[in-house]
Amino acid sequence: MLKKYGYIRVGAAVNKIHVADVTYNVKEIKKLIAEALSKGVEILVFPELSLTGYTCQDLFFTEELISQTLKGLEELKKYSLDKKITYIVGAPLIINNSLYNCAVSFNAGKIIGVTPKTFIPNYSEFYEYRYFSSATNLMVDEFELLGEKVVVSNLLLYHARGYDFVTYAIDICEDLWQSNSPSNFTSLMGANLIFNLSSSNEIVGKVNYRKDLVRLAASKGSLAYIYASSGITESTTDLLFSGHSIICDGCGDLIENERFSFESNLIFYDIDVLRLNHDRIKNRCYEQINFNFEFKHTYFNLYENNNVLVKKYSKTPFLAHDDASLEEILNIQTYALAKRIKFLGNTKMVIGISGGADSTLAFLIALRVIKLLKMDPKDLIAITMPGFGTSNRTFENAKKLIITSGATYKEIGIKEACIKHYQDIGHALDKYDVAYENAQARERTQILFDYANMVGGIVVGTGDLSEIALGWDTYNGDHMSNYAINASIPKTLVTTLIAKIKADSENQVLKETLADILDTPISPELLPLDAAGNIAQKSEATVGPYLLQDFFLYHFMRYGARPSKLYFLACETFKELEKSEIKKFLEIFIKRFFTQQFKRSCMPDGIKVGSIALSPRGDLRMSSDTYYDMYLKELEAL
């Protein structure tokens, strides 16, 4: 089942080593293969020279070790016959009278390919060139191994039969450390999984450098990098090996094992290969290099070993979870608005304050601009515009927020103007339809723009990314401003940023006001209050939980996930929700996202803070009359 959503389970194993004891090492390798199979792993990698041990030194020259290596390979080949897994083992092999440090891949009773090491280190503690030739010296692209012809190349691509979205290639240890790694080129030819068989010794600080290399390789290539390094049971004559295993999926996730174990160990992870491929299709800069290498190709069987996803997804993928990242977001917003204000000659800022979270965040950013540019707080003109749905709670919070901050406070009610407008257009005062609501939003926007014209200022927009995605704004109403400061901040992040500002503030009145704003239901406040004077119109009752809608938006925009996968991911992540509810809200997302593009086509300037934005000038080029039937049909079929 997981294959149809693009998931491959990969593993990195560190086998306990007896140096130069191939028989023992094969037994440990087979144990780990069996364990990996029980965990649903589909492709498994072992460390460099895992069949013999990396530290055999001059024993690599002996006929007995080479002979035992071949016997070990024969046993592992037979072992693979009925095993629904591909595994990659390190071994020394003689090819055309030269010894190569090789990765040997097994699948379905065959050796499907051999990848020799390209870069042979011969500096400091490394002296591999004493034993091994570089893959660049190879004069053949196949050789006879255990009675069959086997393809051999350092630029060998391993393709999954029946799953054309999966291709792997191999680096060996030092290959990762060099700027022109083989994987730089195999990834250009389609490899989206890179396995590295390594023997990396430990010295102070190397562990973090190693992780940085893996992260960078995964990120630059839009690929998953799976790394397994020799363990502590190697010889410690001069060097200590920690058995460091790393799996990095190129999308920010990195897992690793616990180093320095005397026992064999295994880590595994689900790689979303289709997600990686999406990034490759979208970001094509990696194609812009000329090279002329000869690549080789081989094929393997990929099996459905598991139906349970081990990869976990955050319910709040937009959220930065550390204080420094939140401050960085606030700085991006602040400096973007400050640049615009400075460019206009430190012009005044006019902003509508409702007592809700969106306008509160925009107001707080404007206050930071005032401080940054050393402007008079009175140059920030905050206007509260109570209407038919304005509660006393939100009105008082808006008033306290403005006055406590020292900004210019203005109150301009919209009821009378709207009533006159309803009468002018022949709209019943008790008909609570979209015209009733939108007239209020446009009246507020007219006030803001006219006031800004009057004082020579600009209107700071308050609408957020979630509203823009769902079209939960009024065309030429709250949809419009001179600069939309929250344009790439989703609802789930808006509240988190306000909470940070609250926590950092020393103003007790401001802290209490922000706390109550955060506790207020999300509402446009365009419909009359209930009998008790409380907010009756709640946005999430119509569009669904913003937590869920932001989750859909993130995975749809960032990775191009199709409706069935969005549904699958949401069901896996929001176990507390009924699947029927998830499906219903996903349908709302699809319909609103496509039908509301016309609003995004003419949205105002607004700063991008994260990987997702919907500006028609940058991140989303889409026609306003795109059909969405195929998306709904796929969802209905679930």
Bridge-based pairing state of the strands 86-95 and 98-107: antiparallel
Instruction: Kindly give, in sequence order, each residue whose CB lies less than 8 Å from that of residue 533, ignoring residues fewer than 6 positions away.
Output: 391, 392
Task: Give 216-246 as a DSSP string.
Answer: HHHHHHTSEEEEEE--TTS--SS--B---EE
Is the overall model pTM greater than 0.85, yes or no? yes
Write phi, then psi, for 185 (nearest 5 degrees). -100, -40
The pLDDT value given to residue 293: 86
DSSP state at residue 112: E
Q: List the chain residues with pLDDT less than 50.
A: none
Nearest to 88 by CA among 15, 161, 163: 15
The pLDDT value given to residue 245: 98
Residue with tokens 């219903």: 584
**Cα distance between the two ends of the chain:** 13
Write phi, then psi, for 622 (nearest 5 degrees). -150, 140
The pLDDT value given to residue 251: 80
Q: pLDDT for 384-428, tens place per residue?
A: 999 998 999 999 999 999 999 999 999 999 999 999 999 999 999
* Burial grade of 450 (CB within 10 A; 0-12, 13-18, 19 or more): exposed
- Active-site residues, by number, are 48, 117, 173
Buried b (16+ CB within 10 A) or exposed e, 279-316: bbeeeeeeeeeeeeeeebebebbbbebbeebebebeeb
Structure tokens at 276: 């990686």
Q: pLDDT for 296-313, tens place per residue?
A: 999 999 998 888 899 999
The pLDDT value given to residue 376: 97
- State how far the Cα of 557 lies from the Cα of 555, in Å rounded to an integer: 6
Q: pLDDT for 97-153, tens place per residue?
A: 999 999 999 999 999 999 999 999 998 888 899 999 999 999 999 999 999 999 999
Structure tokens at 335: 């400096």
Nearest to 497 by CA among 384, 353, 343, 357: 357
Task: Give 159-201 as a DSSP string.
Answer: EEET-TT-EEEEEETHHHHSTT-HHHHHTTTT--EEEEEE--B
Q: Does an H or E element contain 99, and which?
A: strand 98-107
The pLDDT value given to residue 307: 82
For the chain, which domains are there?
10-301 (3.60.110.10), 323-636 (3.40.50.620)
- State how far the Cα of 86 lies from the Cα of 11, in Å rounded to an integer: 10
